[in-house]
C-alpha cells in the first residue's frame, strides 16, 4: 500500500525533530563518538540487509567487522557514475519506491547530476536540521528568509501565520529581475551562494540603493574572495555565517560564533581520502567521502562528493561545539588547471595567490589551452581597474614558468545553469579530450 506524499511540508514532524538537531551541537566529544558509532552500525546493517546494491557488492566479512567509523574504510567508496548506473532499483531500500519517496536532483556542478530519494520520515529530521542551521545563525520567527536559488521551496503552513516566510530570489533570472524580486520581498535573513548574493549587492550599490533591513547572511556552496564577503556584510550591516552542505549529505558543517566550521559529526560521517590513498576519519587534507548517518530510503555509504577539504582536530575556543573543524573546502576535485607539460595543478593554488589581492569582488580561471590561464576579475565598486589588474598580475607571477597567465577585467561572471560559479572553467577539450587517434 502506498500513501500519497503530502503536498505541503509537514510542520509537526519538523518541530518534533528540532530538539534532536539542536542537541547534536552541544554533545561532548566522547558522546559524539558514541552516537556516531551507534548510528553507523545501524546504518550499515540496514543498508546491507535491505539495499540490493550493497547486499550484492559488499564483502560480508567487512560488514561484520564494522564497529566504528575507522572500520568503514573496509567497504568500497561510492561515486556518482555508480549511483547513476545502479539507479533507484538497486539503491532504494526494500519497502521504498520512487512513488513513495521524495526525489531531489543535485545541481550537477560536477558535470554529472544524480537524483536522490528520501522518505518523509528522514525528511522530518533533515528539514529540522536545516531549520536548526538557520536558528543557530540567528533566525527569528518573523524574519523573511531570502533564498538565492534557481528553484524555490515548497510552501509550509506556518507562512500563513507570518512565520519564517520565504522570499525566493531566482538566480537564473537577470540581475535586474533579481533586484526587483529582492526589493519586493524585502528579506531580512539571506541564504545562498556567495557569488549570487555578492552580484546582487554589487548591482544595488551600482544603482545607488541603500538597504539596511538584512540582519544575517548564511553563505554556502562555493568559495568567494574574502573581500566580497566583507563587502556583502558591510553593505547590509549584517552578521555572516557559513554552512557547508550538499544535496546528498545535507549539512556537513556549520560555523560557530567564533567562525570555525565545525562538522555535524552525528549527522554525517566524514572520511578524508589522502593523495597517497590512505583514509582518515575527519582529519587531514584530501578528497571528502560522506555517509549520512540517518539515511533511510536511499543510503549513500562512503559517497564521493567531489570536494577537496582540509580538516583539523577541534581547537576552537567556543567551548560549545566539540567536533573537528573544516579549515578549507578547496573546491571540486575536477577544478584543475593543466600546465604546459600536461600535468595538473589544483585551481585552489591559483585562488590562494589571488587571496592577498584587495579590491576583487569575483574571479574565475578560464583555461583554453594547456599552460594558458585567463583570470576573469570583477573589481569591487570604485576600484580602479588597471591598478587592480596590475596587482593581480603581480600576485599570479608566483605561478611560475609552467603557465602563461593573463588578466581580464569584466563586469560580471556568468554562473552555471545551477547558479554556481565554477572556480575553473575549462573549455572541455583541454581536460577531457581523448588521446589523438592514430592515422586512420
Ligand atoms: Zn567553535
Query: Distance, CA 44 to ligand 1 centroid (Å)?
Result: 30
For 337-346, how does the pLDDT look when each residue is reduced to its tens digit (9 = 90+)?
A: 777 777 777 6
Give the Cα separation of 127 and 189 in Å (integer): 18
Query: Distance, CA 242 to ligand 1 centroid (Å)?
Result: 12
Look-up: residue for cell 577585467? 409
Query: Distance, CA 175 to ligand 1 centroid (Å)?
Result: 36
Residue 85 is predicted with a pLDDT of 92
Query: Distance, CA 25 to ligand 1 centroid (Å)?
Result: 10
Look-up: residue for cell 595538473? 344
CA 309 to chain centre: 11
What angle in degrees, to the nearest 10, is found between the helix axes of 175-185 and 194-206?
90
What angle in degrees, to the nearest 10, is found between the helix axes of 347-354 and 385-396?
130
Alpha-carbon distances of 87 from 11, 97, 397, rounded to whole Å: 30, 12, 47
Query: Distance, CA 29 to ligand 1 centroid (Å)?
Result: 13
**The three grid cell numbers given for residue 102, joined into one nine-digit string:** 521524495
Query: Distance, CA 316 to ligand 1 centroid (Å)?
Result: 5
Q: What percent of the chain has pLDDT over 70?
A: 87
Query: Distance, CA 315 to ligand 1 centroid (Å)?
Result: 8
Q: Compute the CA torsion angle 284, 286, 287, 293 (nearest 10 deg).
A: -10
**298-322 average pLDDT score:** 94
Give the Cα separation of 410 and 379 in Å (integer): 8
Query: Distance, CA 39 to ligand 1 centroid (Å)?
Result: 24
Query: Distance, CA 259 to ligand 1 centroid (Å)?
Result: 7
**269, pLDDT greater than 70:** yes
Query: Distance, CA 262 to ligand 1 centroid (Å)?
Result: 6
Query: Distance, CA 155 to ligand 1 centroid (Å)?
Result: 33
**The three grid cell numbers given for residue 288, joined into one nine-digit string:** 571528502
Query: Distance, CA 312 to ligand 1 centroid (Å)?
Result: 12
Between these two residues, 362 and 120, which has the higher pLDDT value?
120
Query: Distance, CA 22 to ligand 1 centroid (Å)?
Result: 15
Rg, Å, the chain Cα set = 22
For 45-62, how does the pLDDT look when each residue is reduced to its tens digit (9 = 90+)?
A: 999 999 999 999 999 999
Query: Distance, CA 327 to ligand 1 centroid (Å)?
Result: 12
Q: Where are the alpha helices (DSSP H) in 275-378?
A: 347-354
Report residue 242: phi and psi, to 5°. -140, 140
Look-up: residue for cell 530510503? 297
Cβ burial of 104 (10 Å; 0-12, 13-18, 19+) is middle
Look-up: residue for cell 577544478? 335
Query: Distance, CA 31 to ligand 1 centroid (Å)?
Result: 17
Query: Distance, CA 123 to ligand 1 centroid (Å)?
Result: 27
Between these two residues, 229 and 28, which has the higher pLDDT value?
28
Residue 424 is predicted with a pLDDT of 84
Report residue 69: phi and psi, to 5°. -55, -35
**314, pLDDT greater than 90:** yes
Report residue 285: phi and psi, to 5°. -110, 145
Query: Distance, CA 258 to ligand 1 centroid (Å)?
Result: 5
What angle in degrees, to the nearest 10, is found between the helix axes of 120-136 and 11-23?
60
Query: Distance, CA 352 to ligand 1 centroid (Å)?
Result: 24
Give the Cα separation of 413 and 309 in Å (integer): 25
Give the Cα separation of 28 and 333 in Å (integer): 33
Give the Cα separation of 219 and 166 in Å (integer): 17
Query: Distance, CA 132 to ligand 1 centroid (Å)?
Result: 16
**The three grid cell numbers given for residue 209, joined into one nine-digit string:** 540603493
3-class DSSP assignment, residue 47 = helix
Give the Cα separation of 283 and 286 in Å (integer): 9
Query: Distance, CA 160 to ligand 1 centroid (Å)?
Result: 36
Region at 228 (left for phi over 0; alpha for psi -120 to 50; beta for the rest): alpha
Query: Distance, CA 24 to ligand 1 centroid (Å)?
Result: 14
Query: Distance, CA 261 to ligand 1 centroid (Å)?
Result: 7
Domains and CATH numbers, the chain: 11-125+251-263+272-327 (3.40.50.12780), 141-243 (3.40.50.980), 336-431 (3.30.300.30)
For 202-221, how does the pLDDT look when each residue is reduced to its tens digit (9 = 90+)?
A: 889 989 999 889 999 999 86
**Helix, strand, coil percentages in the chain from 3-state DSSP, rounded to 5:** 35, 25, 40
Query: Distance, CA 422 to ligand 1 centroid (Å)?
Result: 29
Query: Distance, CA 431 to ligand 1 centroid (Å)?
Result: 39
Query: Distance, CA 404 to ligand 1 centroid (Å)?
Result: 41
For 127-176, how does the pLDDT look when each residue is reduced to its tens digit (9 = 90+)?
A: 999 999 999 999 998 899 999 877 666 666 666 666 678 888 887 788 88
**25, pLDDT greater than 70:** yes
Query: Distance, CA 311 to ligand 1 centroid (Å)?
Result: 14
Residue 223 is predicted with a pLDDT of 61
Residue 13 is predicted with a pLDDT of 85
**268-294 average pLDDT score:** 96
Query: Distance, CA 308 to ligand 1 centroid (Å)?
Result: 22
Residue 395 is predicted with a pLDDT of 86
Query: Distance, CA 172 to ligand 1 centroid (Å)?
Result: 35
For 363-401, how does the pLDDT look when each residue is reduced to its tens digit (9 = 90+)?
A: 888 888 888 888 999 887 778 889 999 999 888 887 776
**Beta-bridge mates of residue 407:** 375
Amino acid at each position: 500500500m502506498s500513501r500519497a506524499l503530502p503536498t505541503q511540508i509537514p510542520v509537526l514532524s519538523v518541530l518534533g525533530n528540532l530538539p534532536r538537531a539542536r542537541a547534536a551541537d552541544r554533545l561532548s566529544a566522547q558522546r559524539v563518538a558514541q552516537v556516531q558509532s551507534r548510528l553507523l552500525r545501524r546504518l550499515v546493517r540496514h543498508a546491507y540487509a535491505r539495499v540490493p546494491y550493497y547486499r550484492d557488492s559488499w564483502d560480508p566479512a567487512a560488514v561484520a567487522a564494522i564497529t566504528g567509523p575507522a572500520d568503514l574504510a573496509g567497504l568500497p567508496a561510492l561515486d556518482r557514475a555508480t549511483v547513476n548506473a545502479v539507479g533507484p532499483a538497486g539503491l532504494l531500500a526494500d519497502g521504498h519506491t520512487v512513488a513513495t519517496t521524495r526525489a531531489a536532483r543535485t545541481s550537477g556542478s560536477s558535470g554529472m547530476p544524480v537524483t536522490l530519494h528520501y522518505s518523509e520520515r528522514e525528511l522530518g529530521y533533515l528539514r529540522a536540521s536545516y531549520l536548526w542551521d538557520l536558528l543557530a545563525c540567528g533566525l527569528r520567527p518573523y524574519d523573511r528568509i531570502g533564498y538565492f536559488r534557481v528553484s524555490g521551496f515548497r510552501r509550509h503552513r506556518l507562512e500563513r501565520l507570518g512565520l519564517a516566510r520565504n522570499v525566493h530570489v531566482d538566480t537564473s533570472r537577470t540581475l535586474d529581475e533579481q533586484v526587483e524580486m529582492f526589493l519586493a520581498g524585502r528579506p531580512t535573513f539571506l541564504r545562498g551562494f556567495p557569488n549570487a548574493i555578492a552580484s546582487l549587492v554589487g548591482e544595488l550599490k551600482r544603482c545607488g540603493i541603500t538597504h539596511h533591513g538584512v540582519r544575517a547572511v548564511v553563505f554556502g556552496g562555493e568559495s568567494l574572495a574574502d573581500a566580497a564577503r566583507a563587502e556583502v556584510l558591510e553593505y547590509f550591516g549584517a552578521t555572516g555565517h557559513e554552512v557547508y552542505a550538499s544535496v546528498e549529505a545535507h549539512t556537513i558543517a556549520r560555523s560557530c560564533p567564533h567562525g570555525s566550521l565545525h562538522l555535524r559529526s552525528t549527522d554525517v560521517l566524514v572520511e578524508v581520502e589522502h593523495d597517497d590513498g590512505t583514509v582518515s576519519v575527519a582529519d587531514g587534507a584530501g578528497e571528502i567521502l560522506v555517509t549520512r548517518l540517518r539515511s533511510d530510503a536511499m543510503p549513500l555509504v562512503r559517497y564521493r562528493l567531489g570536494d577537496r577539504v582540509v580538516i583539523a582536530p577541534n581547537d576552537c575556543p567556543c567551548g560549545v561545539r566539540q567536533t573537528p573543524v573544516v579549515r578549507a573546502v578547496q573546491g571540486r576535485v575536477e577544478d584543475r588547471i593543466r600546465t604546459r607539460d600536461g600535468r595538473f595543478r589544483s585551481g585552489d593554488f591559483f585562488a590562494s595567490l589571488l587571496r592577498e589581492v584587495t579590491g576583487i569582488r569575483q574571479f574565475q580561471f578560464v583555461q583554453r589551452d594547456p599552460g594558458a590561464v585567463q583570470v576573469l576579475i570583477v573589481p569591487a565598486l570604485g576600484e580602479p581597474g588597471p591598478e587592480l589588474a596590475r596587482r593581480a598580475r603581480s600576485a599570479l607571477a608566483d605561478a611560475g614558468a609552467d603557465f602563461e597567465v593573463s588578466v581580464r577585467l569584466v563586469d560580471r561572471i556568468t554562473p552555471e545553469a545551477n547558479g554556481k560559479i565554477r572556480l575553473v572553467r575549462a573549455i572541455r577539450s583541454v581536460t577531457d579530450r581523448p588521446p589523438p587517434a592514430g592515422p586512420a
